[in-house]
Amino acid sequence: MPVFVPASLEEAFAVLEGAPGAQLLAGGTDFMVEVNAGQRRPATVVALGAVPELKGWRLDGDEVVLGAGLTYTEMISPELAELVPGLAQAARTVGSPQIRNAGTLGGNIATASPAGDTLPMLMALGATMTLGRSDGGRRAVGLDELVVGPKRTTLQPGEVLLEVRVRAGAGRQEFLKVGTRNAMVIAVASAAVVVDFERRSVRVALGSVGPVVIRAEEVEREAAKLIDWDARRLVGPLEGSGDFGELVRTAARPIDDHRSTAAYRRHAAGVCVTRAFRRAFSSEESTAP
């Protein structure tokens, strides 16, 4: 039978052991669009939807462990949104209620679209992905080691993305996305910003403006100089009307396509980053402990 619906991770690996070339199916929102369009012809499918080990999330010390099968709707749930607010913001912008109910974190990562909406935030959070094989082998990788090109990953045949680890409540997190409408839109440009007051660090990642998510380290260095960590506020030009536009435009490597020109993508990414910083500091008083 060429469609398997294993009821545990052990069963899934048992199937993959005999058929390492099998295609993995999660929510189907990328997979089935390709099948319906005749761009993907599956011969053997392992559907992961009933594997309990991949579902939901849990706390492990100060880390949140997100199952590969975590849906966008679950990312938006208040309990998880409190621990990883940036991911909840990104999830809320994905598709529609139907897509958010079906689509998963693991599917978004494995699809490796330059416009994948969880990817910039995972990069800004310094997330770690755990991949597993049927021989029991496990490896932990960062996003830049896993997603290496548009729709290109280092996932091996038979390898399954199991979970994603991020730090719980890591500072202020902001995600912004530009598109033609609020729902059902693939990002023209997006930005994720994490300002970690405890560690006094800033991380900035850009989506849809390059072949993979771009970490904007130059922006991070400049931004760190514009933060008064003790007072938890922005100083210098950002206090007024200054912005990160030029720095972001330099970091971005966008292309022209049917959704946008490269020039507009650069501009939009700059606006997103600047606005994300202002947001990260605007309501700081109300949320500081």
Please return the burial class of 285, using the count of CB atoms within 10 Å of its CB with bins 0-12, 13-18 and 19+. Answer: exposed
- 231 lines the binding site for other proteins (CB under 8 A): no
Tokens linked to 205 = 């990642």
Contact with ligand FAD (CB under 6 A) among 7, 33, 140, 148: 33
Residues 156, 133: contact at Cβ < 8 Å? yes
Shortest Å distance, C-beta 72 to other proteins: 12
- DSSP, res 238: G
Candidates 83, 53, 87; CA nearest to 69 is 53
Shortest Å distance, C-beta 46 to ligand FAD: 9
3-4/45-47 β-pairing: parallel
- 9 lines the binding site for other proteins (CB under 8 A): no
Nearest CB to ligand FAD, comparing residues 102 and 219: 102
Contact with other proteins (CB under 8 A) among 33, 59, 140, 235: 33
Interaction with ligand FAD in 43-72: which residues (CB under 6 A)? 48, 68
Nearest CB to ligand FAD, comparing residues 96 and 250: 96
The strand pairing partners of 214, in sequence order, are: 206
The strand pairing partners of 164, in sequence order, are: 66, 129
- 49 lines the binding site for other proteins (CB under 8 A): yes
Site map for ligand FAD, 97-116, x if CB under 6 A?
--x--xxx-xxx-xx----x
Measure the CA–CA gap between 93 and 180, rounded to whole angstroms: 12
Nearest CB to other proteins, comparing residues 34 and 63: 34
Measure the CA–CA gap between 194 and 89, rounded to whole angstroms: 13
Measure the CA–CA gap between 240 and 81, rounded to whole angstroms: 30
Which residues of the chain form contacts with other proteins (CB under 8 A)?
Answer: 1-3, 5, 25, 27-29, 31-33, 35-37, 41-43, 45, 47, 49-50, 73, 95-99, 101-102, 182-184
Which residues of the chain form contacts with ligand FAD (CB under 6 A)?
Answer: 23-31, 33, 48, 68, 94-95, 99, 102-104, 106-108, 110-111, 116-117, 155, 160-161, 184, 186
